[in-house]
A = this chain, B = another copy of it.
Amino acid sequence: MFKLLPLKENFLPNGFFLDGIKAGLKKDGFDLGFIYSNSICDVSALFTTNRFQAAPIKHFKKHNIQKTNFVLANSKNANAMTGKRGIEDIEDILDYLKSKFNNIKNPIMSSTGVIGAPLPKEKIKKGIESFNLNNKNLSNFAKSIMTTDTFEKRVSFKVELEDRRSFTITGIAKGAGMINPALATMLCFIITDANIPKEDMDELLAKNAEDSFNAISVDGDRSTNDTVLLLSNKRSGVYDKEAFDFALKEVMHYLALQIVKDGEGAKKLVGFEISGAKDNNEAKTAAKALANSALVKTAIFGEDPNWGRVASTIGASKVECYEDRLTISFEDILVYDKGEILFTKEIEEKAHQIMKRDEFTIKCDLGIGDGRFKAFGCDLSYEYVKINAEYRT
């Protein structure tokens, strides 16, 4: 048995320090931040499956970083498609960082923003000079990695075991655009003082990504920079695998949903729950097809219970399915039942009322096997088009 206690602002895992500053990368606003641990951490990482991985990811892999005590993060510039220079810029910046703070070991850099422009190195170096490694400002760090995000995404839990010993876990993320269903699709940093072995870190991070970051979609695109980092400095000396797994799942699931809620132009958080699929993989394929369909997403924006588009999208996703086995519900309102169309004016109105909510679930049972998956998506609005048509460098 264990307890999960949500923590207030700036109650961080032991030994961790965070802050964000305004380094002038953005016209105004926080754009450069750090995570620092005063003792060395194991690190586990998940990266985008995009073939064009950004320079920070290449840098991480080049140095095969296993232990670190520092993450330098910036927004506004993704340092992607910047070739060798992108990596050299990182090395130059991190050398400078180490020359300023001699207790930093194997620092990691993480970037988000515009693709294809060189890093503004001098601004970043200047920003580094003003870092205070004694600061614990979770909010400023969360702000420093935001791009088109409209709110900060962060969460902390104290995890108390039966014997009252405890550890702490904190997660911070950014999302908004280019959120897609194939891996990380955003920046996410999770820090903990749990005494977790490295192999459990790798295992639990990968496992919990599946139902969280891999289950969400804003626009079906996949960034060059998607990164999830888990850092543990073991300082609590406490660990319980089951409890940590549970807490990590809560952190990742919460942050993933916050990202969808803050999807560019999105007003609604919609669950796409597939059951009865041939297997879990097929359920995932169908659920993500729904979360990615422009026609389904515009119907959600229009609050139109257009179950025909839902059916058509499942049929187009190539999973095994049959007209006379499929059921479709908007929450508990059944509109299509194994070949029978229950979509009277009254039912349509009930389903429409459900779609007026900020959050709801569309449930489809394929009636074949035990496979199930729940994906999360949002509506496709005028605002999405506006944000992305006018996003110039």
| Most B CB within 10 A of own CB, among A80, A308, A343, A382 | A308
Taking a contact as CB atoms under 8 Å apart, the answer to whether B382 and A321 are in contact is no
Taking a contact as CB atoms under 8 Å apart, the answer to whether A82 and B341 are in contact is yes
Interface-lining segment among A4-12, A111-119, A133-141, A193-201: A111-119
Interface size on A, residues (CB 8 A): 67
User: Residue A312 at the B interface, CB < 8 A?
Assistant: yes
Taking a contact as CB atoms under 8 Å apart, the answer to whether B51 and A295 are in contact is no
| Set of chain B residues within 8 Å of A177, measured between Cβ atoms | 295
| Most B CB within 10 A of own CB, among A53, A78, A301 | A301
Number of copies of this chain that the complex holds? 2
Interface-lining segment among A29-37, A154-162, A217-225: A217-225
Q: How far is the CB of A384 from chain B (nearest CB, A)?
A: 7
User: Residue A323 at the B interface, CB < 8 A?
Assistant: yes
Closest B-chain residue to A335, C-beta based? B116
Bound form: Cα–Cα A178–B323 in Å: 20
User: Residue A318 at the B interface, CB < 8 A?
Assistant: yes
Q: How far is the CB of A362 from chain B (nearest CB, A)?
A: 15
User: Residue A311 at the B interface, CB < 8 A?
Assistant: yes
| Set of chain B residues within 8 Å of A223, measured between Cβ atoms | 312
Once A182-B316, A221-B293 are accepted as A-B contacts, the answer to whether A304 and B385 lie under 8 Å apart by CB is: no
Per the 8 Å Cβ criterion, residues 361-393 of A in contact with B are 380-382, 384-386, 388-392
User: Residue A298 at the B interface, CB < 8 A?
Assistant: yes
User: Residues of A at under 8 Å CB distance from B?
Assistant: 49-53, 78, 80-84, 114-118, 177-178, 180, 182, 219-224, 292-295, 298-299, 301-302, 304, 306-309, 311-316, 318-321, 323-324, 336, 339-341, 343, 380-382, 384-386, 388-392
